[in-house]
Every structure is written in C-alpha cells, then in structure tokens.
C-alpha cells in the first residue's frame, strides 16, 4: 500500500509542470461541471413541481420516489430520439448552433467564486469576462433560427437577437454601478467589498440596478415573461422548432444553465455572495449561521431560481414592442440616472462604501 | 515553448479564418469566420497579457457588432452568382492593390524593422498587475481630453443615427403608453347588474 502511494507521488512529481496544471484544472472543472449538470437536471424537476403546485397540480410523481428520477427518464428519452435535420437546412450550422449556446453558459462558471477560497480562475477582469461570454450565447439562437430554414425559427431568432442586444446594454450599465461601488472587476473582490451586515450588501444602495440586472437577466435567458423567442402560441417553439433528441436537449440544458448562472451572478454582485445574512447579529453570534460559507451562496442562488419559476407561473408573456420599450426606454435611463446618483453618493460619502 | 506553440496554433487558425471570410460562398459563413477570426486575435492578445483589450474585443465586436452584422446578412437575399459576374474585369485592380499591401507590409517588416526587435516577447508582468486599472489610469489622466472628445463624437453619431430613422410615416399605428396606462375601466366597460331570471 505504502509502495503504491510512494509510486503515485513519484509519478505525479515526475510529470512535467504543464501537464500537472492541466490535470489539476481539469479535475476542478469536473468538480464544477458535474454538480452543475445535476443542478440543471433537478431544476427541470423543481420547475415542474413548483409550477404544478402553483397551478394546483402535483407535477411528476411516477418515476422513482415522488418522481425524483423524472429528469433521468427525460434524458433517456431524448438520447434515444432521432435527430432530424430538415431539408435544405444548413447542416453544418444546424449542428454547431446548440454547441455555441451551451459553451458560453458553462465557460462563464470559471470566474464565479463559490466561497472565499474556491474559484476556478481568479482573474482581474472577471466581470468583463462574464459580460463578454454572456453576450456570445445569442449566436446559438440566431444560427439555429437561420440554419433551420424555417420561417418560425427565423422569426424567433430575429426576436431573440434584438431582445438580447437591447437588454445587454442595461445589464452592462447595472454592472458599471457594481464596479463603481466595489472598485474592482474581480468577482471575489466584489463579494469581499460587501462584507458586513445584510445592509452593506449592494442590493440596498443599488436597488434600481439590482432590479434592472435581474429582470434583464430573465430577458437574456429568454425565460417567461420575455420568452418571445420561443412563443409557443405564436411561432410554435421559435428557434428550436426543428430540433429533436439530444440537439434539443443541449438547447434546453443551455437555457437552464444560464438561469443558474444569472441567479449566481445576481447573488454574487448584489446579495453578498457567500456572506451570511446573520453576520453581526448578536443572537446568532458564533453559530455556523453567521459564518460566511458556500451554504449561503447556494441558498441565495436557489432563491433567485425560485423567482425565475415563480415569474414563469404567474406572468403572461410580454408583447414584443413592450419588451423593446421596457429595455430601451425604461431600463437604460434608470441605470444611467442611478449611476449619476451613485456618483453623488460617493461625493457626499453616503452609503456602505463611505468608511 | 508552450507559449510559442499556442501562438502558432492560434495564428494558424486566425489565417484560416481570415481566408474563410473572403472565400466562403455563403455570407453567413463569412460572418461566422469573421467571428472566429476575432476570437483567435483576442487569444493572441491574451498571450501578450493584454487581457482588457482581448476581452473588450470579444465583448464589443463578437458580442455586439457581429450580432447586428449577422442580423442584417441573414435578412439580405444575396445572389452570389451576380456578385461574381465582374470578377475577371476587376481582378487586375484587385491584384494590384493586394501587391501594394504586400509590399507595404514587407517594407515595414524587413527594412524599418531591421533595427528594432519585433519578435521579442514582452517581459512577463509581476503578479497583481492589472491591465484594466493601468489603462484606466492613462485614459482618465493623460488622454482625458482625447477620450472625452471621442465620447462626444460617438454620442453625436448615436443621435444622428436615431434622427435619421425618426420620420413620420402616414398610417402608422403607434401607441401612446401614457394614455394606455391612464385608461380607466369605467370609461370602457359598462357592468350591467340584473336579477337572475327565474323559471
């Protein structure tokens, strides 16, 4: 046994340093990706259950105990389905489009800090990286719509492109407010800048930006009430109308991964990431509830995910021109004005950053 | 070693993508090759530790400009056959311009670059060095007037672009949102109360 361990250490140290880095990083990527994909699977289950309860139904109950194996049954079904490529579709782009939508959804996780220590890539320009990658996700949708060679898919793609470009600007301006408040583009530093009680988190001083950011996030992920790109009552299923089997599953996976991503970003940027809401409260002084930990991050992410599902179950779909109006004429002016207000707060030294 | 390998890998992809932009028959494929070219040039900048420029290149060009580009290209019905009709007629001019550019590049590399070390790798930056912060420092102190001037010109361009599309079209059914919000149900719906009819 000892010989085996010795041999393993010697083997590891004998590897070239570049190979060591690659191995460690791959393992870390696996450590993030596998739970993430499981979260996506169970998010679909949670969605069906929660919307079921809101609509006075029970949701899936048949597969496994209380339907808990339903996501795996769905994956099995989709795996076995045939992928049909429509006539005159652009075969190459048709296949590459789902990949283009899922790669950015996963790659952005590299800079999300899970707790004080664990983040895959602790880079200085983390926030810019997030913005750049989230803006790439739209290619999958546009190309899927165009390559399918179908009117409905094309309409969905056009709607989605205009919508995402509009809401990205508001999202970017909301982020400007966050980086003004924290003085850093590094997501870990942004969370550390919010240390203190629940009232030093950025949601309170940046309340309008917080709301704009989350609503824009909902719009960017093409979720209800902004899901005109799918709009099943008008254009069937929008950009993925002709996709079946695993190609469809990849789009589905990307949408849910993006939901978790937007929730995680909102939690990191506005709700203090891994910090505890009970920090500094005398009653819970030194239990684990007051400690900053991954638990709090996960709880905040779940909270926003619940809001996503709640919105879907309770709001009717926005009309397309109203979506555009909300993005361009409401959100962008709101963020611009609040950035000016924030600058004024800096000058007058009001707010949590004033010490 | 690995740095060099990465550089040549990305450079090769960049050249292939650039060739793809001008040779592919489908305009959407051309646009996607251009996206690939932007990506690989961003990767090259990352190798030079210019992470701000690299990420902004992806953010602005890939995330915004090319999306709009693709948006337009997809809606155009481009007839590639008709575009290729004048090829032989314009070929001599094209070859001439290409030659001129090659001569210019060669001149810069071989004659003017003889005394400067063009291929030397820059010194690796110390840990904690932030490209973004450095650029910000320079932009808002030394070059603040040029920066503000550029901002004003961009604003002007935005205003001009919007005012170009602001025209009154006859028969346009625009909505006045303020009036929609101010609508009172009493003005539109009359609720009639009547007794239930018996037998």
pLDDT in tens, A93-102: 888 888 888 8
CA angle, residues A205, A130, A47, in degrees to nearest 5: 80
- Name the one residue in this structure whose structure tokens are 């492109």: A161
What are the angstrom distances between the C-alpha of A270 and each of A188, A189, A263? Answer: 13, 13, 10
Shortest alpha-carbon distance between residue B130 and chain A (Å): 7
Cβ <8 Å between A124 and B131: yes
Residues 47-66 of B with CB under 8 A from A: 51-52, 55-56, 58-59, 62-64
Number of A–B residue contacts, CB under 8 Å: 72
- Name the one residue in this structure whose structure tokens are 């990431």: A273
What average pLDDT score do residues A140-151 get?
84
**Does the domain spanning B1-76 belong to CATH 1.20.1330.10?**
no
Burial of A120 from C-beta contacts in 10 A (0-12 / 13-18 / 19+): middle
Task: Tell me the pLDDT band of B38, cut-offs 50, 70 and 90.
Answer: very high
Comparing alpha-carbon positions, the chain B residue that sits nearest to A322 is: B177
What are the angstrom distances between the C-alpha of A281 and each of A67, A189, A194? Answer: 40, 23, 16
Whether residue B139 is predicted with pLDDT greater than 80 in this model: the reply is yes
Task: Tell me what ipTM this predicted complex has.
Answer: 0.80
Residue B133 with chain A: CB contacts under 8 Å? 124
pLDDT one-digit tens code per residue, A238-288: 777 788 888 888 888 888 999 999 999 999 888 888 887 776 666 666 666
**A228-237, B153-162, B164-173, range with the lowest pLDDT:** A228-237
Q: Does residue B74 belong to the interface with chain A, where contact is any CB pair within 8 Å?
A: yes
Whether residue B100 is predicted with pLDDT greater than 90 in this model: the reply is yes
The distance in angstroms from the start CA to the end CA of chain B is: 97
Identify from A132, A159, A187 which residue to disrupt to test chain B contact, counting B C-beta atoms within 10 A and taking the largest count: A132
What's this model's pTM, rounded to 2 decimal places?
A: 0.83
**Closest Cβ–Cβ partner in A18, A132, A321 for B63:** A132
Is there a contact between A168 and A331 (Cβ–Cβ < 8 Å)?
no
Cβ <8 Å between B51 and A132: no
Nearest-CA neighbor of A268 among A116, A79, A44? A116
Cβ <8 Å between B26 and A135: no
Comparing alpha-carbon positions, the chain A residue that sits nearest to B128 is: A124
Domain boundaries, chain B: 1-76, 79-124, 126-167
| DSSP tag of B197 | P
Whether residue A355 is predicted with pLDDT greater than 60 in this model: the reply is no
Shortest alpha-carbon distance between residue A129 and chain B (Å): 6
């Amino acid at each position: 046994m000892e010989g085996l361990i010795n041999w393993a250490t010697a083997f590891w140290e004998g590897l070239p340093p570049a190979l060591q880095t690659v191995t460690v990083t791959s393992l870390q990527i696996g450590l993030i990706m596998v739970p993430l994909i499981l979260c996506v699977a169970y998010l679909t289950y949670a969605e069906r259950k929660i919307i079921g309860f809101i609509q006075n139904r029970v949701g899936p109950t048949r597969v496994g105990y209380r339907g808990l194996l339903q996501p795996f049954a769905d994956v099995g079904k989709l795996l076995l389905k045939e992928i049909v490529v429509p006539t005159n579709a652009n075969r190459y782009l048709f296949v590459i489009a789902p990949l283009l939508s899922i790669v950015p959804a996963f790659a952005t996780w590299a800079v999300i800090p899970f707790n004080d220590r664990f983040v895959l890539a602790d880079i200085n320009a983390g926030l810019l990286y997030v913005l750049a990658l989230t803006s790439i996700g739209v290619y999958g949708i546009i190309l899927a719509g165009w390559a399918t060679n179908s009117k409905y898919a094309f309409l969905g793609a056009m709607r989605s492109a205009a919508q995402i470009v509009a809401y990205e600007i508001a999202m970017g301006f909301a982020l400007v407010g966050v980086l003004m408040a924290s003085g850093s583009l590094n997501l870990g530093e942004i969370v550390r800048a919010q240390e203190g009680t629940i009232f030093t988190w950025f949601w309170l001083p940046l309340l309008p930006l917080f709301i704009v950011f989350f609503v824009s996030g909902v719009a960017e992920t093409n979720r209800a009430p902004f899901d005109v790109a799918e709009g099943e009552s008008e254009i069937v299923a929008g950009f993925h109308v002709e996709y079946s089997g695993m190609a469809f599953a990849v789009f589905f996976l990307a949408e849910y991964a993006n939901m978790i991503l937007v929730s995680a970003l909102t939690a990191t940027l506005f709700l203090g990431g891994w910090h505890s809401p009970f920090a500094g409260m005398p009653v819970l002084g030194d239990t684990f509830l007051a400690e900053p930990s991954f638990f709090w991050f996960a709880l905040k992410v779940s909270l926003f995910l619940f809001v996503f599902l709640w919105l879907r179950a309770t709001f009717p779909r926005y009309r397309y021109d109203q979506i555009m109006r909300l993005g361009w004429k409401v959100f962008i002016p709101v963020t611009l004005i609040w950035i000016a207000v924030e600058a004024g707060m800096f000058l007058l030294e009001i707010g949590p950053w004033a010490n | 070693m690995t740095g060099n390998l990465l550089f040549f890998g990305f450079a090769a992809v960049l050249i292939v993508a650039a060739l793809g932009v001008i040779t592919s028959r489908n305009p959407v494929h051309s646009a996607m090759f251009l996206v690939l070219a932007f990506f690989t040039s961003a990767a090259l900048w990352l190798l030079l530790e210019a992470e701000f420029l690299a990420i902004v290149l992806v953010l602005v060009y890939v995330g915004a400009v090319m999306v709009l580009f693709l948006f337009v290209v997809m809606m155009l019905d481009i007839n590639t056959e008709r575009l290729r009709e004048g090829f032989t007629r314009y070929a001599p001019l094209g070859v001439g311009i290409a030659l001129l550019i090659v001569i210019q590049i060669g001149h810069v590399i071989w004659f003017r670059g003889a005394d400067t070390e063009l291929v030397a790798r820059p010194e690796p930056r110390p840990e904690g060095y932030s490209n973004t912060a450095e650029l910000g420092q320079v932009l808002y102190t030394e070059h603040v007037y040029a920066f503000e001037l550029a901002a004003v010109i961009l604003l002007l361009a935005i205003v001009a672009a919007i005012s170009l599309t602001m025209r009154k079209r006859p028969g346009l059914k625009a909505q006045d949102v303020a009036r929609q919000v101010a609508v009172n149900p009493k003005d539109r719906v009359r609720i009639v109360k009547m007794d239930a009819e018996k037998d």
